[in-house]
Amino acid sequence: MPDGLVQILEGNTFVVSDRRGDIEASLTDPMGLFAFDTRFLSRWVLTLDGRRLNALSTDDLQYFETRFFLVPGTGTVYVDAPLSVIRRRAVGAGFQEELTILNHTDETVPVEVRLDAGSDFADLFEVKDALEKKGTYHHQVEDGRLVLGYRRETFERATSISATAPAAIDEHGLTFSATIEPHGEWTTGLEVRPFVVGWEDQPATRRPSMARGLEKWLGRAPRIQCDSGTLTATYHRSLVDLAALRFTARSLPGRALPAAGLPWFMTMFGRDSIFTSLQALPFAPELASTTLLALAERQGTRLDDFRDEDPGRILHEMRYGELTAFEERPHSPYYGAADATPLFVVLLDEYERWTGDNKLVRDLEVEARAALNWIDEFADLQGNGYISYKRRNEETGLENQCWKDSWDSVSYRDGELPGFPRATCELQGYAYDAKMRGARLARKVWRDPAFADALEKQAADLKRRFNRDFWVEDGEYFAIALDADGRQVDSLTSNVGHLLWSGIVDRSKAASIARHLVGPRLFSGWGVRTLAEGEGRYNPIGYHVGTIWPFDNSFIAWGLRRYGFEEEAACVAAGILDAATFFDGRLPEAFGGYPREMTKYPVQYPTACSPQAWSTGAPLLLLRTMLGLEPVDDHLVVDPALPLGIGHLELLDIPGRWGRIDAFGRGLIDTSARPSRRPRRRTLVSGTSARAPGPRPRRGS
Choose the final residue of a domain: 208, 229, 255: 208
Statement to judge: residues 201 and 282 lie in one domain? no
> 651: left (phi > 0), else alpha (psi -120 to 50), else beta?
beta
Residues 281 and 172 in one domain: no
In a domain, 153, yes or no: yes
Tell me if 686 is assigned to some domain: no
What CATH number does the domain containing 373 carry?
Answer: 1.50.10.10
Instruction: Evaluate whether residue 405 is within a structural domain.
Output: yes
CATH number, domain with residue 171: 2.70.98.40
- Tally of helices (H runs) and strands (E runs) in the chain: 18, 31
- Asked if the structure places residue 303 within a domain, the reply is yes
d(CA 72, CA 66): 20
pLDDT at 349: 98
Tell me: do 141 and 34 sit in the same domain: yes
> Which class for 132: exposed (0-12), middle (13-18), buried (19 or more C-beta within 10 A)?
exposed
pTM (2 decimals)?
A: 0.90
Same-domain pairing of 171 and 36? yes
Q: Are residues 191 and 313 in the same domain?
A: no
The answer as to whether 175 is a domain residue is yes
Instruction: Provide the pLDDT for residue 79.
Output: 59
Q: Let me know if residue 37 belongs to a domain.
A: yes
Q: Print the domain residue range for 50.
A: 5-208
**36/259 Cα distance (integer angstroms):** 12
**Could you give the CA distance from residue 426 to residue 513 in angstroms, rounded to a whole number?**
14
Work out the burial of residue 335: count CB atoms within 10 Å of its CB; fewer than 13 is exposed, 13-18 middle, 19 or more buried. Answer: buried
pLDDT value of position 125: 83
Residue where a domain terminates, one of 491, 517, 548: 491
d(CA 565, CA 239): 28
Total tally of structural domains belonging to the chain? 2
Residue 536 domain flag: no
pLDDT at 129: 66
HEC letters along 255-324: CEEECCECCCECCCEHHHHHHHHHHHCCCCCHHHHHHHHHHHCCCCCCCECCCCECCCCCCCECCCCHHH
Instruction: Give me the average pLDDT of each 10-residue run along the chain (701 residues).
Output: 58 86 85 91 96 89 87 70 93 92 96 97 80 88 94 94 97 97 97 83 52 88 96 96 85 83 79 97 96 97 97 94 89 96 98 98 98 98 97 93 97 98 98 98 98 98 98 98 97 98 98 98 98 98 97 98 98 97 94 95 86 95 98 96 96 96 95 64 42 35 34
Q: What is the pLDDT of residue 203?
A: 44
**Would you say 501 and 425 are in contact if contact means Cβ atoms under 8 Å apart?**
no
In sequence order, the 6+-apart residues with CB closer than 8 A to the CB of 547 are 529, 530, 540, 541, 590, 591, 592, 593, 605
> What pLDDT does 256 receive?
85
Question: Of 208, 233, 249, which residue is a domain's last?
Answer: 208
Cβ-Cβ contacts under 8 Å for 368 (sequence gap 6 or more): 344, 345, 348, 361, 438, 441
CA distances from 535 to 412, 415, 490, 593 (A): 8, 7, 10, 13
Residue 651 located in a structural domain: no
Asked if 274 and 201 sit in the same domain, the reply is no
What is residue 697's predicted lDDT score, i.e. its pLDDT? 36
Mark whether 143 and 72 lie in a shared domain.
Answer: yes
Same domain as 201, residue 350: no
Q: What is the pLDDT of residue 678?
A: 55
